């Protein structure tokens, strides 16, 4: 299957700052990437679908101005959490999809 | 309505025994896919097994098998000969529509499995 990396694997930031998370497809050209958020002891919730060269499609209830997604190439999508607050602390996971879905290792964000 | 329901929040299983994790789904699509993932404490999502809606045979992958009952809309995961390393969260997920890039997955709430020695 495809290999997906995320960077950073964990990050701590102060409230009000912005954090960028990268998702890379290492061996597959991904026209579509997905961003999920997972709060402790909960399931994965899809935040948005990232489409190469076009705007992301956000799920209902996800603020597109707060969670900026850029999918500028077939191997890289970025999620920027702007003006982060403690309630944004979560585990963020990206995935790419060919016929199957391959997940990155996740990024744990803690906002203090 | 929940599209994917996992009714067992947590369960214990004795090492070397089999365990069945329940998953029911709801869709009006004729073409869909069902997945099971394992998530250990590290957080990575590990793909276990896949069942397509048109697959006539139940899927099997090593110690994992999927008990697919289409009429009942259930896709239970059976783990045989449990090992201590099987302790993790297990998620059932569904892709609605045919296999294609862009078709997102919807996840169930998960079941935490703890294997006892």
B91·A108 Cβ contact <8 A:
no
Maximum CA pair distance of chain A?
A: 39
CA distances for A86 relative to A12, A112, B41, B106, B113, angstroms: 10, 6, 22, 26, 30
For residue B105, the distance in angstroms to the closest alpha carbon of chain A comes to 8
pLDDT at residue number B1:
63
- pLDDT score of A30: 85
Q: Which stretches of chain A drop beneath a pLDDT of 70?
A: 1, 99
In chain A, residues with a C-beta closer than 8 Å to the C-beta of B108 are 43
pLDDT, tens digit, 9 for 90 and up, residues B3-43: 999 999 999 999 999 999 999 999 999 999 999 999 999 99
**What pLDDT is recorded for position A99?**
67
Q: What's the pLDDT at A19?
A: 98
Q: What is the pLDDT of residue A48?
A: 95
Chain A residues in contact with B104 (beta carbon < 8 A): 34, 46, 49
């Amino acid at each position: 299957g495809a290999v997906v990396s995320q960077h950073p694997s964990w990050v701590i930031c102060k409230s009000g700052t912005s954090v960028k998370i990268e998702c890379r497809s290492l061996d597959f050209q991904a026209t579509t990437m997905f961003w999920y958020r997972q709060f402790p002891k909960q399931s994965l919730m899809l935040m948005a679908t990232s489409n190469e060269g076009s705007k992301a499609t956000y799920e209902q209830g996800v603020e597109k101005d707060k969670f900026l997604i850029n999918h500028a190439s077939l191997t890289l999508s970025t999620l920027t959490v702007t003006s982060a607050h403690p309630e944004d602390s979560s585990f963020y996971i990206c995935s790419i999809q060919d016929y199957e879905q391959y997940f990155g290792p996740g990024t744990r964000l803690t906002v203090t | 309505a929940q599209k994917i329901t996992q009714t067992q929040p947590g369960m214990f299983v004795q090492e070397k025994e089999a365990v069945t994790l329940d998953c029911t789904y709801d869709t009006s699509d004729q073409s869909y896919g069902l997945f099971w993932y394992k998530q250990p404490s590290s957080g990575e999502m590990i793909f276990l097994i896949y069942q397509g809606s048109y697959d006539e045979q139940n899927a099997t992958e090593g110690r994992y098998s999927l008990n697919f009952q289409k009429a009942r809309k259930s896709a239970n995961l059976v783990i045989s000969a449990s090992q201590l390393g099987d302790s993790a969260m297990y998620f059932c997920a569904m892709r609605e529509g045919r296999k294609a890039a862009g078709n997102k997955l919807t996840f169930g709430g998960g079941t935490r499995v703890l294997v006892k020695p």
